[in-house]
Chain A
Amino acid sequence: MEEDRKKAHPALTRRHFLAAVGAGAATVVASSHLAAGASTKARVMEPTEMTKIRLRINGRTHRLLVEPRWSLLFVLRERLGLTAVKSGCERGECGACTVLVNDVPRYACMMLAVEMQGADIITLEGLMNGEKLGHVQQAFLEHDAFQCGYCTPGQIVAVEGLLRRNPDPSNDEIRKGVSGNLCRCGAYTHIFQAVERAAQLKRGQR
């Protein structure tokens, strides 16, 4: 019974617990983070207080119940099953979780889901045309621009973002464009080739 109650009202149990022991470090951090971005009159939420949000992801609106401390990465991967958004470091170092936010490549691990309402979020899955690969994906396939493939979704999304703002990047611009995405297998040179090819494909060249 206790189990069932917890499942149904996790926030209640959590609050009860917090009241008993005082606010933990996690509460303070999350609260101050939220408070910093909101107006001074905004109510500070408890880190485990479930809240309703709407996220626009790959052209569809999702209504979700989230804890304010949940990262966009966690929500995309573990709540929506968009597992092309990879988890590599959860601290903004590797770029494996790169998604487009209003056409700009950003690390999903560094953003809270509650902050992303109103934004247009695109993941690797959103670059597909049905079952057909998008241009950047096709270029990565042709040029073998990956080995283990784990950083690849992030790399492809970063390249998509680069090409959306710069359809004809120079070598240096390509390197800078993917320099926020680590590849431990070291497929960088093939990635550079794939970016050039993707730019061609986007221009309609075969």
Chain B
Amino acid sequence: MKQEEKGVYYTEGLFVPETPTPGKAPKPWGETAVIGKSRPRVDAYERVSGSAVYPSDFSLPHMLHGAVLRCPHPHAKVRKLDTSKAEKMPGVHGLISGATREADVYWPYSKDVKTKLFDSICRFEGEAVAAVAAETPYQVWDAVEAIQVEYDVFPFIVDEKKALRSGAPQVHGAGNLVKPKETYSRGDVQEGFAQADVMREESYRTECEVHTPMELHGCVAYWDGDLLVIHESTQGVYAVQSKVAQVLGLPLSKVRVIGHYLGGGFGSKLQPGKYTVIAALLAGKTGRAVKLFVTREETYLCTGNRPPANMTLKAGVKKDGTLTALEFSVLGTGGAYPAGGTSLVDWLIKDLYTCPHVRTEATDVYINAGPARPFRAPGHPQGSWALEQMLDALAEAIDMDPVELRLKNIPAYSQARPGTPAYTTTGLKECLEEGARAFRWEERRKEIENSGKNGSLRRGVGMAGCLWIAGGGGPPSTVIVKLFSDGSVNLNMGASDIGTGTKTVMAMVVAEELGIRTEMIQIEHADTGTTQYATPSGGSKTVPTEAPAVRSAAIHVKQQLLRMAADDLGMDVSGLHFKGNEITADSDPPKKIKIREISGLKKQGVVVGVGYRGPNPEGKVVNPFAAQFCEVEVNTETGEVRILDLLGTNESGRVMDRLTYNNQVHGGITMGIGFAMTEVRVLDAHGTGKMVNRNWHDYKLPTALDVPPHMEAVPIELPDPEANNTGAKGLGEPVTIPTGAAIANAVYHATGVRVTQTPLNPTRLSLIFSERLKER
């Protein structure tokens, strides 16, 4: 992993084994028979029939239910804990707290910051104080409620904007700065501003967004002798294994983590939680399996979030559209422990558009709130909200089409990385041009502008571009493809399918390479006990990481079969070809042999192919690019915004499955709508410091009624043979980055109102409209 990408998913302290030596990389595919087609998922039947067993569905005989008592205050000390009543409650089998021997372990919040699992100091609302296992969820919550705690309640700080003021309550007692301000600079911004014809400066804010995947966070844990088995709802079984083993002081071989299905994660399930370790400890104490899934309310407090971002951006541009300078600052917070509170918020400012003079500054502070976790494209939607609205304002100031301004500043190489390496492809230009064409950008913009601005329903169009810092994938990954004597296949890989269709895409890769139907493939995955090493599914890197390894493993199988067939046919391997379910020879008369008739295969029973993910190209960067275009209708009386149409173009290399591709683009846009328009964590800064909207009623996600009537995904398939042997790049994150800014730009186009703070909702808009009326 390259240095600048290390913070992407905040893998600090995460154990990563040595990358295996890669085999010789095969050439990318030319024409494909399976890849790129629309194919329903290989596990669709399981998912729609209800037979897929998610970790929270898992059940074992005599299984207990666990629950965690959490601190109700944002900052407090446990002075006295009385568990005597709770322990005698009906159905209760075990209780652990800071006072019990079993729970005397440390939880690493980061590489450098550790606390006791149940620490007496609680630095955020929702910190774990004690935990119980009982026979039913009802009994366990009865017992949790019966635990009596006396707290010393401390002053708190939950507004990150006030965290550095003198006299602000201290989260850790040493100032609230997580680390010294991070700065980046190239060129000389003052000189850049001097060269500009037009300058603009603006402040922006994006609110804290909470993942709230549909399946709750948690696991079923049990001990099989000295082996700890955990069925966790996770994006990465190996990441869970390494942290649990670290906390409990166990060898990796004694922690088996299984995660065949999970109901969404979006970054919040890249790591285990205290809940995982707590379940394991309760299982140990009671000698029973323990199911511990947090409640929906708890997911708002202690399973991560996308940090809020307070940003300022000053920009200079020449009349011809040349960007001359960008100066950016961000203040953010990852909550009460180091969690990347400003991680990558400045990346787009530094890297997306050509600009010689750039300065950025990031200030990460502590507040008394739950720690952040990576959230789909960490930092990027926040930075995009500022940068893409600024470009829109600059375009207007120099009377240039917003698309044209962006096209003037397409980068040829990555400016923010040391040595300014080239991208293997820079699809930004194609995304902008093809997107504008497909959307009829110019025509629709003109139609709206010519129609005049009368009445309370105003239409507008807006757009935004983006890249995603990762999405090229890379080592390590090991995959095994096992071909049975009848030609059917078992695919063994450690990666999780988090709902993006990983299993389907990988089956398609095997099908493409070995010429078999995907129905003939059985997939064994996401189990540290039985499947190969994989990094967590996140960073839009699962397809570009795993697919090349799967392909290599399939090719390894083919190579062995060709050698076996050569023996049977009495020919040299060089004249043999793999064609569907048989091997043919360039001979006269033509010879051929069916795969299942190869004697070597019959003797051996199976042929096993091993594939490793090879390294990425030396000195080059593999990044996906994207652009989105939208049309909105704004009601200037009510402040309501209807998104009428949203089109996304993505240069993510080769499309693997056109059907799941479409779904991914629509889903990313939908999540972007939530980020921009409906979602906000509300902390009671002036009263209790508690989160006041910890449920799906008050914290609103986009529903079926909030998505545009028309959405379209336009793939830009630039050949990228350097990226990896499949030519595929990540898609899951770039699809959600530009949505918010594109909507805000369309609202500006419709109304002349620049909404610089999320959520862009009727409350905010109607206030702005009424202020404007007063000014008249």
Q: A interface vs B, CB < 8 Å?
A: 6-7, 10, 13-14, 17, 21, 24-26, 47-48, 67, 69-70, 74, 77-78, 81-84, 86-91, 93-94, 96, 123-125, 128, 133, 137-138, 140-142, 144, 146-153, 156, 171, 175-176, 178-179, 181-192
Q: Does B416 contact A (CB under 8 A)?
A: no
Closest B residue to A12 using CB positions: B90
With A91-B296, A144-B40 given, is the CB distance from A185 to B499 under 8 Å? yes
A184 adjacent to B50 (CB under 8 Å)? no
Q: Which residues in A have their C-beta under 8 angstroms from that of B295? A: 90
Closest A residue to B658 using CB positions: A144
B50 adjacent to A141 (CB under 8 Å)? no
A151 adjacent to B214 (CB under 8 Å)? yes
Closest A residue to B713 using CB positions: A189
Q: How many A-B residue pairs lie within 8 Å, measured between CB atoms?
A: 189
8 Å CB contact of B59 from A78, A91, A141, A185: A78
Q: A23 to nearest B CB, angstroms?
A: 13
B53 adjacent to A147 (CB under 8 Å)? no
In the complex, A88→B49 CA distance in Å?
Answer: 18
In the complex, A91→B295 CA distance in Å?
Answer: 10
Q: Which residues in B have their C-beta under 8 angstroms from that of A179? A: 703-705
- Given contacts A91-B695, A137-B48, A151-B214, list 7 more A-B pairs with CB under 8 A: A10-B91, A87-B56, A94-B214, A141-B40, A141-B45, A144-B41, A148-B263
8 Å CB contact of B667 from A14, A81, A93, A187: A187
Q: Which residues in A have their C-beta under 8 angstroms from that of B664? A: 147
A88 adjacent to B701 (CB under 8 Å)? no
B90 adjacent to A190 (CB under 8 Å)? no
Q: Does B659 contact A (CB under 8 A)?
A: yes
Q: A120 to nearest B CB, angstroms?
A: 19
In the complex, A86→B233 CA distance in Å?
Answer: 14
For window 687-729 of B, CB contacts with A under 8 Å fall at: 695-697, 701-705, 707, 709, 711
Q: Which residues in A have their C-beta under 8 angstroms from that of B212? A: 184
Most chain A beta-carbon neighbours within 10 Å: one of B53, B142, B214, B293: B214
Q: Does B264 contact A (CB under 8 A)?
A: yes
Sort A-B residue pairs by CB-CB distance and give the 6 closest, nearest first.
Answer: A84-B50, A150-B263, A186-B670, A148-B499, A149-B47, A186-B667
Q: Which residues in B have their C-beta under 8 angstroms from that of A47? A: 138
Q: A68 to nearest B CB, angstroms?
A: 11
A152 adjacent to B48 (CB under 8 Å)? yes
Q: Does B57 contact A (CB under 8 A)?
A: yes
A182 adjacent to B701 (CB under 8 Å)? yes
Most chain A beta-carbon neighbours within 10 Å: one of B659, B703, B709: B703
Q: Which residues in A have their C-beta under 8 angstroms from that of B705? A: 175-176, 179
Q: A122 to nearest B CB, angstroms?
A: 12
Q: Which residues in A have their C-beta under 8 angstroms from that of B89? A: 17
* B residues contacting the other copy or chain, number (CB 8 A): 66
With A178-B704, A182-B701 given, is the CB distance from A188 to B48 under 8 Å? no
B671 adjacent to A67 (CB under 8 Å)? no
Most chain B beta-carbon neighbours within 10 Å: one of A137, A140, A149: A149
In the complex, A194→B219 CA distance in Å?
Answer: 32
For window 47-64 of B, CB contacts with A under 8 Å fall at: 47-54, 56-57, 59
Q: Which residues in B have their C-beta under 8 angstroms from that of A133? A: 45, 48-49
Q: Which residues in A have their C-beta under 8 angstroms from that of B759? A: none
A182 adjacent to B49 (CB under 8 Å)? no
B666 adjacent to A182 (CB under 8 Å)? no
In the complex, A190→B266 CA distance in Å?
Answer: 20
Kindly supply a per-residue 1/0 record for chain B positions 64-99, scoring 1 wherever the CB is within 8 Å of any chain A CB and 0 otherwise: 000000000000000000000100111100000000
B667 adjacent to A147 (CB under 8 Å)? yes
Q: Which residues in A have their C-beta under 8 angstroms from that of B670? A: 186, 188
In the complex, A67→B139 CA distance in Å?
Answer: 11
In the complex, A82→B707 CA distance in Å?
Answer: 31
Closest B residue to A186 using CB positions: B670
With A133-B45, A176-B705 given, is the CB distance from A148 to B90 under 8 Å? no
Kindly supply a per-residue 1/0 record for chain B positions 26-41, scoring 1 wherever the CB is within 8 Å of any chain A CB and 0 otherwise: 0000000000000011
With A67-B138, A179-B703, A179-B704 given, is the CB distance from A144 to B263 under 8 Å? no
Q: Which residues in B have their C-beta under 8 angstroms from that of A190? A: 662-663, 666
Q: B359 to nearest A CB, angstroms?
A: 36
B215 adjacent to A88 (CB under 8 Å)? yes
B50 adjacent to A124 (CB under 8 Å)? yes
Q: Which residues in A have their C-beta under 8 angstroms from that of B276? A: none
Closest A residue to B659 using CB positions: A144
24 examples of A-B residue contacts, CB within 8 angstroms: A7-B135, A21-B85, A24-B145, A84-B51, A86-B56, A87-B56, A89-B696, A91-B296, A91-B695, A96-B214, A147-B264, A147-B664, A148-B261, A148-B264, A150-B262, A153-B50, A175-B704, A179-B705, A182-B701, A183-B704, A186-B669, A186-B670, A188-B707, A190-B662
A188 adjacent to B663 (CB under 8 Å)? no
Q: Which residues in A have their C-beta under 8 angstroms from that of B501? A: 147
Most chain A beta-carbon neighbours within 10 Å: one of B50, B90, B668, B709: B50
Q: B83 to nearest A CB, angstroms?
A: 15
Q: A155 to nearest B CB, angstroms?
A: 9
Closest A residue to B660 using CB positions: A144
B262 adjacent to A148 (CB under 8 Å)? yes
Q: Does B349 contact A (CB under 8 A)?
A: no
A184 adjacent to B701 (CB under 8 Å)? yes
A189 adjacent to B59 (CB under 8 Å)? no
